[in-house]
Structure 1
Amino acid sequence: METLTTYRQRIFGLDVVRALAIILILCSHSTLLLFPESQSNIVKTIQFFGTIGVDLFFVLSGFLIGTILIKHIENNKTSFKDFANFWMRRWLRTLPNYYLVLLINIGLILLFNAELPNQLFKYFFFLQNLSQKQPDFFTESWSLTIEEFAYIVGPVLLIILGIFFKRLNKWSFLVVSLLIIASAIYHRFLFDFNVTVLPENFSWSKSLRKVVVFRLDSIYYGFLGAFFGFYYTNLWLRFRFVSFIIGVILFVVTHVYILINKLNPDSFSTFFNVYYLSLIAISIVLTFPMFSNWKSNKVLLKPITNISLWSYSIYLINYSIVLLSLQRYIQMSELSLIGKFGVLLLYLALTFVLSYLLFTFFEYPILKLRDSKRYKRWFKN
């Protein structure tokens, strides 16, 4: 099987980001499998790796999609048909896997005689967490909803600007990106300002971090990275080391501040509600000048590329399908440390094997069709 692009065509540093993101998520979910009731600070810290992993995905996705949209603008391909082609390519990348895994999750719920969520239909239209917390079903789908809306909102605003100003340019792209970022921050501020009586067992992650209207900015910080990387390439390259160091320092200082002040997102902290997610996204995008120019490493090239290629399948399969199924059949509290280690190996093995099969026999053929001459001829007509 050939990769979607040759190793030379792929950007190794961005594959590293994608691989790192999914590894952080797997580390986080592993603690939920092995120590579901643990209140250990170490376990809680590792569980928070998942937050960072998803934000890496968000910023990376914004960077890549933003670059595609910039090329649309520069090539004057900004008609509705051009953007429709963009959406079709995106949806062929994301929707088939999503709907297949959604149906598998529904099948597992019926198999286990569990209760399906109310308004299940929302999952088919990516509405399950638009402005409210998502039910505890197919929980990893929250991030896909945010991405799908990000892919729609930006181009729609660009189309509207194009109608008024006849021609789009780089400043149109920048204005749209900044408007969406400002809107998400504004909605988080309103959330923090208006919620005066907290519900019992308040969860910052479910009520804010995983809700579309509060999170679109994370992807659009990636758009800003694409803007500077494309239009100010010389500065992007010249200051890549400085930018990387600033990004790392900002990331570390942010978390040191949390530790020193003993901040807890579930205690309804204004810092977490309004500022934290933006600071993390900014710190990540500041590392992209370095990552986007990281040349391939012969030793790591193949494993990093493969993990990167499988990452979407891994993300969809590892939790609801593998982890929750294992938890139904295995009582982790009754196992020894060696037993838990064995379950961890089983969890990782099943995740990677099933993800490989999903990618190889379902995701990859669809992507090949999307990139085929037949598809391109069909869409030009």
Structure 2
Amino acid sequence: MNTDIQHNQRIFGLDVVRATAILMVVFSHVYYLIDSSNPLLVSVSGLFGFFGVELFFVLSGFLIGTILLKKYISEAFTFKEIFVFLKRRWFRTLPNYYLVLILNIIVALVFGYSIDGWAAYFIFFQNFTEYKINFFTESWSLSIEEWTYLFVPFILFLTWIFFKKNKKASFIVTVLVLILFFHLLRYFVYLENAFSDMTTWNSNLKSLTVYRIDSILFGFVTAWLHMFYKEMLQNYKVYLFIISLHLFVFQFVIMNVLGFDIVATPLYYKVFYFTLTSFTIFLALPLFVYWSSSKTVFGKPIQLISKISYSMYLLHYSIITVLLKYLISSLDVDFSNAIIIASYMFITIVSSYLLYRFYEKPMMDLRDK
């Protein structure tokens, strides 16, 4: 995920969020790798995969929202500045994405997987209004991010033109209206579609770009509060985090115990489930925004995982998990689950570091020139 901090000013707390998010996503596919049908492991894996991506969305929104907000409140918010912003985003995201996309196409061809609709992946249309992903399944979230980067700056530019006299208010009003708009889009899905299984929920709602942009916009709200109400946000960050923890337990533990599911409570699962998740992360984020540095022994490993998190996200499943599982099945050796998981983590981290060090970072250095 593309959540670098401009000008290399790293905030350790955001590295913690990023590292936590990618480790949750990587762990979420362990059950598939070891062929486990343990219901607890499968459930926890599903939660980790979902929540890890949502963490990335809100964090990305905070960082990108901060960049756009600084431009918005200045006199330099022009088409030229928007294209500079897009150029920097695309240098950050597209080289890695296209390289791994090509690798996925090669793997799919070698293993005989369908690559129907492969061209749509190059313009992030594989899950725009219809789920057409049959390989490189992780790419669904990247489409949401890329279309947010393209769509939101131009909407903000229109409000900037018409409401220059009160930029502070017009920015947050625009963002909140957009959040409400996408929330209402999901409500229309609830009214018009009677699907009642999680597989359809995943492909017809959770993973479609047109219904999920608001998850990133919650990070824009944090950016706005951080810009204009920094002292208040800093004073209440611990209290907000405690509320966030309670909401997390309520949503993902208590509500499950109470029998909330897509059959019994379709309105919640189709409309409010995503909004509540994003709001929970929004409340927790300020604690990490003001966690500027760390001198503990865990500091360096966390920063490393954070730096290579985008490469890890791209490589870990459709490339590494698929190839590793094929290799294990081809060998006439009974590996323990511990060895398989350790190998998976080691290969993922090493290969991601190599991709970051020799391809991703040089591309970012080229961008900065």
- SS of the equivalent of 1:264 reads coil
> 1:328 offset after TM fit, Å?
2.8
Change (3 A) 1:132 1:168: farther
Mapped partners of 1:134, 1:297: distance in 2: 43
- 2:158 is aligned to 160
Task: Note if 1:72 corresponds to 2:71.
Answer: yes
Mapped partners of 2:198, 2:301: distance in 1: 41
Task: Note if 1:289 corresponds to 2:286.
Answer: yes
Paired residue type of 1:315:
Y
Task: Note if 1:207 corresponds to 2:204.
Answer: yes
> 1:265 offset after TM fit, Å?
4.2
CA contact (8 A) 1:158 1:168 kept: no
Paired residue type of 1:158:
L
Ranges in structure 1 where 5+ consecutive residues have no aligned partner: 373-381
- 1:144 is aligned to 142
Task: Note if 1:128 corresponds to 2:102.
Answer: no
> Number of paired residues?
364
- SS of the equivalent of 2:290 reads coil
- 2:81 is aligned to 82
> 1:136 offset after TM fit, Å?
2.3
Paired residue type of 2:247:
L
Mapped partners of 2:151, 2:325: distance in 1: 38
Q: 1:186 aligns with which of 184, 187, 201?
A: 184
> 1:10 offset after TM fit, Å?
1.1
> 1:42 offset after TM fit, Å?
3.6
Mapped partners of 2:336, 2:366: distance in 1: 44
> 1:50 offset after TM fit, Å?
0.8
- 2:228 is aligned to 231
Ranges in structure 2 where 5+ consecutive residues have no aligned partner: none
- 1:217 is aligned to 214
Change (3 A) 1:265 1:326: farther
Change (3 A) 1:8 1:120: closer
CA contact (8 A) 2:198 2:262 kept: no
Change (3 A) 1:168 1:159: farther
> 1:173 offset after TM fit, Å?
1.5
Mapped partners of 2:198, 2:51: distance in 1: 23
Paired residue type of 1:254:
Q
For each residue in 1:246-295, what CA deviation from the matched residue of structure 2 results, as whole angstroms up to 9, or x when unmatched? 11111111123322223334777321111111111111111122111113
Mapped partners of 1:106, 1:244: distance in 2: 42
Change (3 A) 1:162 1:293: closer
- 1:101 is aligned to 100
> 1:166 offset after TM fit, Å?
5.2
Mapped partners of 2:304, 2:198: distance in 1: 40
CA contact (8 A) 1:129 1:142 kept: yes
CA contact (8 A) 2:31 2:41 kept: no
Give the aligned CA root-mean-square deviation in angstroms. 2.3
- 1:27 is aligned to 27
Paired residue type of 1:106:
I
Change (3 A) 1:201 1:307: closer
Mapped partners of 2:327, 2:261: distance in 1: 33
- 2:309 is aligned to 311
- 2:349 is aligned to 352
- 2:276 is aligned to 279
Change (3 A) 1:127 1:167: farther
- 1:377 is aligned to none
Q: What TM-score results when the alignment is normalised by the length of structure 2?
A: 0.92
Task: Note if 1:367 corresponds to 2:364.
Answer: yes
Q: Quick one: percent identity of the two aligned structures?
A: 40
Q: What TM-score results when the alignment is normalised by the length of structure 1?
A: 0.89
> 1:112 offset after TM fit, Å?
2.1
Change (3 A) 1:197 1:279: closer
